[in-house]
Structure 1
Amino acid sequence: MTNAFGADSTTDDVLRGVDLSGKRILVTGVSAGLGVETARALVAHGARVVGAARDLDKARAATEIVRSAATASGGSFELVTLDLASLASVRACADGLLADGRAFDVIICNAGVMATPQGRTADGFETQFGTNHLGHFVLVNRIASLLKPGGRLVNLSSAGHRYSDIDLDDPNFEHTAYAPFVAYGRSKTANILFAVEFDRRHKDRDVRATAVHPGGILTELTRHMSQEELDGLMKAMVTAPPDGEPPMQLKTVPQGAATSVWAAVVAPAGEVGARYCLDCHVAEIDDVSARAGVRSYALDPDNARALWAKSEDMVGERF
Structure 2
Amino acid sequence: MSGPFHAESTTDEVLAGVDLSGKRVLVTGVSAGLGVETARSLAAHGAQVVGAVRDLAKAKQATAHVAAEAANGGGLELIELDLASLASVRACADALMADGRPIDVVIANAGVMATPLSRTADGFEMQFGTNHLGHFVLVNRIAGLIPEGGRLVNVSSAGHRFSDVDLDDPNFEHTEYEPWAGYGRSKTANILFAVEFDRRCRSRGVRAAALHPGGIQTELARHIDGKAIEERINQINAQLAAEGRPPFRFKTIPQGAATSVWAGFVADADEVGGRYCENCHVSDFTDMPTSAMSEGVRPYALDPERAKALWAKSEEMVGEKF
Q: What's the TM-score bracket when you normalise by the shorter of the two chains?
A: over 0.9
219-228 or 110-119, which moves further after superposition?
Answer: 219-228
Deviations, residues 140-168 of structure 1 (Å, cap 9, x unaligned): 00000000100000000000000000000
1:294 aligned partner, one-letter code: V
Contact 1:50–1:80 at 8 Å: present in 2 too? yes
Match of 2:76 in 1: 77
Contact 1:165–1:298 at 8 Å: present in 2 too? yes
Residues 299-314 of structure 1: matches in 2 within 5 Å?
Answer: 299-314=302-317
Match of 1:46 in 2: 46
**DSSP 3-state at the match of 1:26:** strand
Contact 1:240–1:247 at 8 Å: present in 2 too? no
Deviations, residues 235-289 of structure 1 (Å, cap 9, x unaligned): 2443334544543321000000000000000000000000000000000112538
Residues 1-319 of structure 1: matches in 2 within 5 Å?
Answer: 3-70=3-70, 72-241=71-240, 242-286=242-286, 288=288, 291-319=294-322
**DSSP 3-state at the match of 2:27:** strand
Contact 1:215–1:251 at 8 Å: present in 2 too? yes
Cα drift, residue 290 of structure 1: 6.8
Deviations, residues 55-101 of structure 1 (Å, cap 9, x unaligned): 0000000001112122x442121000000000000000000000000
Cα drift, residue 233 of structure 1: 2.9
Root-mean-square deviation (Å) = 1.4
**DSSP 3-state at the match of 1:261:** helix
Contact 1:157–1:191 at 8 Å: present in 2 too? yes
CA 1:237 to 1:40, structure 2 compared with 1: closer, same or farther past 3 Å? farther
Contact 2:81–2:89 at 8 Å: present in 1 too? yes
What are structure 2's unaligned runs of at least 5 residues? Answer: none
Equivalent-residue separation in structure 2 for 1:21 and 1:233 (angstroms): 43
Contact 2:213–2:256 at 8 Å: present in 1 too? yes
**DSSP 3-state at the match of 1:143:** helix
CA 1:73 to 1:239, structure 2 compared with 1: closer, same or farther past 3 Å? farther
Deviations, residues 207-236 of structure 1 (Å, cap 9, x unaligned): 000001000000000001122322233324
Contact 1:31–1:59 at 8 Å: present in 2 too? yes
Cα drift, residue 4 of structure 1: 1.4
**DSSP 3-state at the match of 2:154:** strand
Equivalent-residue separation in structure 2 for 1:193 and 1:245 (angstroms): 31
Equivalent-residue separation in structure 1 for 2:236 and 2:208 (angstroms): 29
**DSSP 3-state at the match of 2:150:** strand
Contact 1:154–1:260 at 8 Å: present in 2 too? yes
Contact 1:165–1:186 at 8 Å: present in 2 too? yes
What are structure 1's unaligned runs of at least 5 residues? Answer: none
Contact 2:2–2:268 at 8 Å: present in 1 too? no
Contact 2:236–2:293 at 8 Å: present in 1 too? no
CA 1:238 to 1:62, structure 2 compared with 1: closer, same or farther past 3 Å? farther
1:49 aligned partner, one-letter code: V
Equivalent-residue separation in structure 1 for 2:245 and 2:194 (angstroms): 29
Equivalent-residue separation in structure 2 for 1:19 and 1:284 (angstroms): 30
Equivalent-residue separation in structure 1 for 2:2 and 2:34 (angstroms): 25
